[in-house]
Amino acid sequence: MIDTEEIRLSLEKELSKVESLQELQELKAKYIGKKGIISLAIGDIKKVPLEKRREYGSAVNSLKEYAEKLFKEKEEEIRKRELQERLLKEWVDLSIPLEPKIGAYHPISLTIQRVKDILTSMGFSVAEGPEIELEAYNFDLLNIPKEHPARDMQDTFYINREGYLLRTHTSPVQIRVMLSQKPPIYVIAPGRVYRRDDDPTHSPMFHQVEGLAVDKHISFKHMKYTIETFLREFFEVHVPVRFRASYFPFTEPSAEVDIGCVICGGEGCRVCKHTGWLEVMGCGMVHPQVLENCHIDPEVYQGFAFGMGVERLAMLYFGIDNIKLFFENDLRFLRQFV
């Protein structure tokens, strides 16, 4: 048997010290929980001698009702106090004149949109694809051999599931388009790509825009005209453009594209390493094997492809010298593009 009056006084004393809902729940479990003092006392009523059972049972049940009433009142009191504190904390003086801060597009978004606007005005449409890509689309169908260093773990983020990776370029989008559409095809593929790079001019995640044209009677001169026109539109000046022979597994012939340095005007500076030239993209005629892999007859159709890093273009266009500024979310940097 318990002393109900002693339990009542103890409960009132402990309840007066409770400040939070968590403390209240713990105290509630102590007294009226399944194994609480009052709950166990109710279970022990049957053990009390018959002559005292009625009186004791009535006292214990009254104590339980009293305890439940106290807990309910305390909970309402705490919730009311917490609400008042929250309202005071969140209170806003609506009479204060506002000075709205106008947001701005991120320079990467501005650059992508600029590239898209120029190339779509030239007849290209925009295509997108998944960032988690099949190895077959990222490498195999692009004529990149199994032993190619681009497949190494040092360059590519592989995913635990076999055959999947984070795409290293947006070329898989071109593969998906060629597999799903018949020529003529004129598309650009903007998006995020991933490689194991991390230095002032490279990031493990960056953005690319790649272009693809597949049609009858396409030649290198069509690609050259397209790229030269795009670059001069993008930089808004008649920049010198040169093509240097290069190698890519998915194009043949292939070339690297340089422009006259837009920082120094071709005179030579730190940015262009005093050469007067800046590399801005790679390009080439689509390899016949890639066309065959996508069920396009290379005897009937030809194509050209090009790819550029958006961060590279943005750094040149806006005069930014560190790629990490794009990802640090420093408002002092971002507000310059309002």
CA distance 58 to 234: 89
pTM here? Answer: 0.67
Would 275 be classed as within a structural domain?
Answer: yes
pLDDT, tens digit, 9 for 90 and up, residues 232-285: 999 998 889 999 999 999 999 999 999 998 888 778 888 788 899 999 999 999
Residues 74 and 33 in one domain: yes
Looking at the structure of the chain, the number of domains it has is 2
Q: What's the CA gap between 239 and 196, in Å, rounded?
A: 32
Q: For residues 175 and 250, give the distance between their C-alpha atoms in angstroms, rounded to a whole number.
A: 11
- The answer to whether residues 217 and 310 belong to one domain is yes
Residues 56 and 145 in one domain: no
Please name which of 284, 282, 326 lies closest in space to residue 308, comparing C-alpha atoms: 282
Cα gap 261→241, rounded to integer Å = 10
* pLDDT tens column, 159-209: 877 789 999 999 999 999 999 999 999 999 999 999 886 655 567 889 999
Same-domain pairing of 306 and 163:
yes
33 by DSSP, 3-state: which?
A: coil
Q: Are residues 155 and 245 in the same domain?
A: yes
CA distance 330 to 284: 38
Range of the domain at 31: 4-90
Which DSSP helix (H) or strand (E) runs through 114?
Answer: helix 107-121
Instruction: Report yes or no on 99 lying in a domain.
Output: no
Dist. CA 236–CA 232, nearest whole Å: 6
- CA angle in degrees (0–180, nearest 5) for 133-257-148: 40
Closest CA to 287 of 322, 320, 251: 251
300 and 202 within one domain: yes
